[in-house]
């Protein structure tokens, strides 16, 4: 099979025309072709493409399917055999709408965590009592450097029913007063992974997408009994609390996932603007750690942490009528309006 990866750059997603069911498609140059159409073209050339009914299904045999997609596109380009649909005429859904598992890595951007520790002020921990602000920052930076060298990622899970589309409304639940944004680079797993080494981690990545791990800050900590600690179900998993997409970009077309710019705007104002190079634990280390604890499967999502500039930093949380616009280099853009739950139910 010919190596056509470099000449066949494309993105994968879930799309629908007005009044029609969603279909899995391939996007190139703002034009979309359904995967079931590519399947027929592949079969006509003696190639086998499986799982064309959804991106999730395609991921179950990713390595073979990716090679077939590249080969099929190259052959079709030679013959002019494909009838493309303009992206502008389609609705875009989350590329993987019902992943089996979603994992999130918390407190994983150096500047973000240092800023949080500094904002707590001297004396928040016994070791920082009496420190000047400059001494406190130096202490926090040294602490995070030590964590990066000898520590482990902090990982929790999010449920699939929180997933929503990249342009769909985010519903702000009535029981929360501090819903916050957390824009993140998301990794999509491409084959079963268990006890994967850091050196081999890249082989298990199908591609990348954009995730916004919405969090109700006021619901993170258990009220009764307080000793129980965090309440991730209440704070992280409301419906629509994980805008995902717009597309899955195959890993072969992302030159360096640790050098991508993450930008989130709230009503046009930049709130987050950071590069993925600021991660404390890089993507490979996260896959190594998570796969040492659990079994990862194709289609699983890993949200790799959010940089500085969350609402908690500004003391400004999401409100009815807000609009979040998010982008990551080469992966596309999200645009999610925020709607209060009571108003959403009246629709």
pLDDT at 132 over 80: yes
Band (pLDDT 50/70/90 cuts) for residue 176 is: very high
Structure confidence at residue 347 (pLDDT): 60
The string of pLDDT tens digits covering residues 296-329 is: 999 999 999 999 999 999 999 999 999 999 999 9
Q: How many residues does the chain have?
A: 347
d(CA 28, CA 10): 5
With contact defined as beta carbons under 8 Å apart, do 289 and 152 qualify? yes
What does the buried/exposed string (b/e) look like for 223-249 if buried means 16 or more CB atoms within 10 Å of the residue's CB?
Answer: eeeeeeeeebebbbbbebbbbbbbbbb
Q: Tell how many helices (H) and how many strands (E) occur in the chain.
A: 9, 20
The string of pLDDT tens digits covering residues 37-67 is: 999 999 999 999 999 999 999 999 999 999 9
Rounded average pLDDT over 253-262: 98
Structure confidence at residue 255 (pLDDT): 96
Output the furthest CA–CA distance in the chain (Å, rounded): 74
Structure confidence at residue 77 (pLDDT): 87
Helices 133-150 + 110-119 axis angle, to 10: 140
Pairing status of strand 269-275 against strand 261-266 = antiparallel
Q: Cβ neighbours of residue 344 under 8 Å, at least 6 residues apart?
A: 169, 171
The string of pLDDT tens digits covering residues 262-286 is: 999 999 999 999 999 999 999 999 9
Give the residues across from 337 on adjacent strands: 323
Burial of residue 121 (CB within 10 Å: 0-12, 13-18, 19+) is exposed
The string of pLDDT tens digits covering residues 180-236 is: 999 999 999 999 999 999 999 999 999 999 999 999 999 998 877 666 788 889 999
The string of pLDDT tens digits covering residues 78-127 is: 887 788 999 999 999 999 999 999 999 999 999 998 888 888 888 778 88
* DSSP 8-state secondary structure symbol assigned to residue 24: E
């Amino acid at each position: 099979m010919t190596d056509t990866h470099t000449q066949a750059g494309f993105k994968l997603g879930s799309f629908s025309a007005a009044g029609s069911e969603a279909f899995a498609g391939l996007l190139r140059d703002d034009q979309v072709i359904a995967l079931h159409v590519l399947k027929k073209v592949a079969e006509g050339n003696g190639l086998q493409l499986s799982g064309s009914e959804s991106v999730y299904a395609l991921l179950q045999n990713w390595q073979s399917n990716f090679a077939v997609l590249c080969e099929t596109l190259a052959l079709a380009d030679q013959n002019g055999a494909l009838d493309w649909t303009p992206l502008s005429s389609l609705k875009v859904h989350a590329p993987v709408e019902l992943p089996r598992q979603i994992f999130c890595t918390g407190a994983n951007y150096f500047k973000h965590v240092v800023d949080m520790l500094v904002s707590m002020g001297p004396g928040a921990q016994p070791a920082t009592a009496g420190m000047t602000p400059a001494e406190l920052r130096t202490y926090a930076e040294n602490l995070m450097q030590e964590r990066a060298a000898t520590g482990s990622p902090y990982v929790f899970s999010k449920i699939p029913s929180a997933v929503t589309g990249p342009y769909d409304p985010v519903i702000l639940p009535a029981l929360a007063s501090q819903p916050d944004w957390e824009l993140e680079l998301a990794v999509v797993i491409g084959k079963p992974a268990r006890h994967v080494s850091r050196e081999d981690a890249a082989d298990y990545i199908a591609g990348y997408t954009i995730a916004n791990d919405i969090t109700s800050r006021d619901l993170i900590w258990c009220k009764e009994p307080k000793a129980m600690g965090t309440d991730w179900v209440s704070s992280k998993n409301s419906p629509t609390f994980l805008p995902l997409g717009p597309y899955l970009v195959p890993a072969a077309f992302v030159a360096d996932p640790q050098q991508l710019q993450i930008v989130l705007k709230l009503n046009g104002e930049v709130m987050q603007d950071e590069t993925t190079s600021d991660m404390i634990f890089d993507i490979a280390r996260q896959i190594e750690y998570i796969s040492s604890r659990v079994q990862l499967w194709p289609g699983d999502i890993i949200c790799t942490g959010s940089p500085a500039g969350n609402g908690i930093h500004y003391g400004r949380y999401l409100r009815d009528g807000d609009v979040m616009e998010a982008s990551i280099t080469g992966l596309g853009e999200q645009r999610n309006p925020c709607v209060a739950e009571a108003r959403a139910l009246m629709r």
